[in-house]
Amino acid sequence: MSRYAAALDFGSAKVALAVGEKTDAGVRIVSYHDAPSAGIESGEIVNDFKVEEVVRALIEQARADLPEEITEVSFGLSGRVLHSKEFPIQITRRNPDSYILEDEVRQITRARYKASLEGDEVVFEAVPQKYSTEDRIGITHEELIGMVGGQIDADFKIFFGRKGLRDRRVNIIEKCGLTPRKAILAPIASARAVLSRPEMENGVALVDIGKGSTEVAIVKDNIVRHVAIIPFGGESVTGDIKNVANITREWAETVKLRHGRCCEEYAVENKKLVLKSENETVEGEIEMSLLIRTVEARLSEILDAVRYVIEQSGYAGRIASGVVITGGASHHEDLLQLASALLGQKVRLAAPQGAIDNGSVEDAYDVYASTAVGLVLETLDPMLSHALDLNDKPEQNAQQSESGRNVETLFDEVTEPQERPLSKRERKEEERRAREEERRAKEARKQAAREAREKEKKGPSFIDMLFSDNNNA
């Protein structure tokens, strides 16, 4: 088996291919190449042939950097709509006096990927949140290993979406002569690449602002607690500038990158940008104050949606490390100040620096590389993702586990509990959650009333569009 791991990030702005190897000090990225996306919108493939052409070119570039062939590749999953739900189960063990070992817990997680869902939806990630036994409640994966007992209660968070989202990536990879290895949620990969270990333990929200979408991952106690994808990103800012200035999209992107501050208080009064081509032809103009107001308005709506996601996750008051922002559209000047004010959290910008070895290729340290680098990390040394190896055959794994025990005989059933009595602690927690939900509902109603009064002035709001799209999907 190759010592290298390759990973593809199918982004709306670019497709990136990163290759890394495990070293004594961690993971070293030995190759990184990207190219402008063609055939991808908001993280979803709309033209397979164009994407395949880009991927083939990247593979050839990567092969020139390596002493051996690339045969397998992991890839990121993203898209306009991602669903999640709690998934509690009970497991009855055949031998309650035997130690609970890693391979048994891994098999329990694998079974979650077979969860019954509606239509063509499949589980993308099944993340264990906590476990309980007859003697202990709310323990971690590490604490569970080595215990004994006849029953395990496990609470999972499953993230799921359309099967076609994954299958189109698989088909393109196979047409390029490679074998798909792991399908990992892109926000989880980005989180792994840029978050520090203290942040992942103390609680943090990762916000990856890309071209077509903004992805959020909340991590607490080194466990992914929530993932959401907001289907708007840097491209929305570009579109707004194009519309208010009546200029081409290319000029709007240039203006955004060079002058797109997002705090109006820093605007220079009466300053106007005059856009000239190489032959000095005037192709448009825009007041700086109008430009900054436009950028600020759209980024404020995106950040409002991020705040909504954090609040709905139930972790708003539990992310002591605040918010970490990365991604190709995170370059706006004054973004930190705006985000800190709107989110009510401390905020920092991040790129994949501390997560990879110092000997990695230079491009791997850029914010544009966060997802691709994180995919390599989660392939070689999984920490946040529980994605399956797509080449593993369940029937083969059922024969014998790493410890030599027959996994299929470790437990009799894996079922969703129907009417499991709640403990006193659990009842109190449920009551607390119910009160919190009621409080949030009241706040939401008040906010809705305030927004309704402003709606005629502003038109449809960003969050209206977002959750209307999700409901329709």
Query: What letter would DSSP give residue 233?
Result: -
* pLDDT for the residue 369: 94
pLDDT score, position 424? 54
Which helix (H) or strand (E) is 385 found in, with range?
none
pLDDT at 401: 41
Q: What are the two backbone dihedrals, phi and then psi, of residue 457, each rounded to the nearest 5 degrees? A: -75, -40
Please give the angle made by the CA atoms of 178, 183 and 186, to the nearest 5 degrees: 120
- Residue 369 burial class via C-beta count within 10 angstroms: exposed 0-12, middle 13-18, buried 19 and up: buried
> What does the pLDDT look like over 127-167, one tens digit per residue?
999 999 988 999 998 999 999 999 999 999 999 999 999 99
Where along the chain do the CATH 3.30.1490.110 domains lie?
83-164+393-415
Segment 381-387 mean pLDDT: 94
Mean of the pLDDT values across residues 98-124? 90
Superfamily of the domain at 199-349: ATPase, nucleotide binding domain (3.30.420.40)
Residue 402: pLDDT over 50: no
Q: Give me the residues paired with residue 183 across strands.
A: 75
- Rounded Cα gap, residues 283 and 238, in angstroms: 17
- The torsion angles phi and psi of 147, rounded to 5 degrees, stand at -80, 170
Average pLDDT over the chain reads 85
Q: Sheet of 323-326: strands edge to edge? A: 223-230, 214-220, 204-209, 323-326, 347-349
pLDDT at position 260 over 90: no
Burial of 177 (0-12, 13-18, 19+ CB in 10 A): exposed
Asked whether 219 and 191 are in contact (CB, 8 A), the reply is yes
Element of type H or E holding 104: helix 102-112
- Written as one string, the DSSP assignment of 280-310 is --EEEEEEHHHHHHHHHHHHHHHHHHHHHHH
Structure token digits, residue 437? 């939900």
Residue 117 CB contacts under 8 Å (≥ 6 apart), including other chains: 123, 160
- Backbone φ and ψ for 247, nearest 5 degrees, come out as -125, 170
pLDDT at 414 over 60: no
pLDDT tens track for 278-325: 777 888 888 888 899 999 999 999 999 999 999 999 999 999 999 999
Q: Which of these, 94, 219, 81, 78, lies nearest to 151 by C-alpha position? A: 94
Residue 432, number of CB atoms within 10 A of its CB: 10
Task: Report the pLDDT value the prediction gives residue 330, as an integer from 0 to 100.
Answer: 85
Interval 22-36 mean pLDDT: 93
Which residue type, as a one-letter code, is found at position 447?
Answer: Q
**Residue 175: other Cβ atoms inside 10 A:** 13
Q: What is the pLDDT of residue 391?
A: 80
Collapsing DSSP to helix, strand or coil, 338 comes out as: helix
**Nearest to 96, CA basis, from 149, 132, 145:** 149
Average pLDDT of the segment spanning 244-254: 92
**DSSP state, 203?**
-
Residue-level pLDDT at 440? 65
pTM of the model as a whole = 0.82
Say which residue, 264 or 28, is predicted with more confidence.
28
- Tokens representing 432 are 């607390």
Residues 6+ apart with CB under 8 A from 295: 237, 240, 241, 256, 260, 261, 262, 332
Residue 155: CA atoms inside 13 Å, Cβ hemisphere, count?
Answer: 15
Q: How far apart are CA 133 and CA 473, in angstroms?
A: 39
CB atoms within 10 A of CB 379: 27
pLDDT digits (tens, 9 = 90+) for 156-208: 999 999 999 999 999 999 999 999 999 999 999 999 999 999 999 999 999 99
Question: What average pLDDT does the segment 82-109 reach?
Answer: 92
What topology is assigned to 83-164+393-415 in CATH? Answer: Dna Ligase; domain 1 (3.30.1490)
- Stretch 363-390: mean pLDDT: 94
Listed in order, strand segments (DSSP E) in 294-452 are 323-326, 347-349, 411-415
Which residue spans of the chain are classified as CATH 3.30.420.40? Answer: 199-349
The pLDDT value recorded for residue 283 is 81
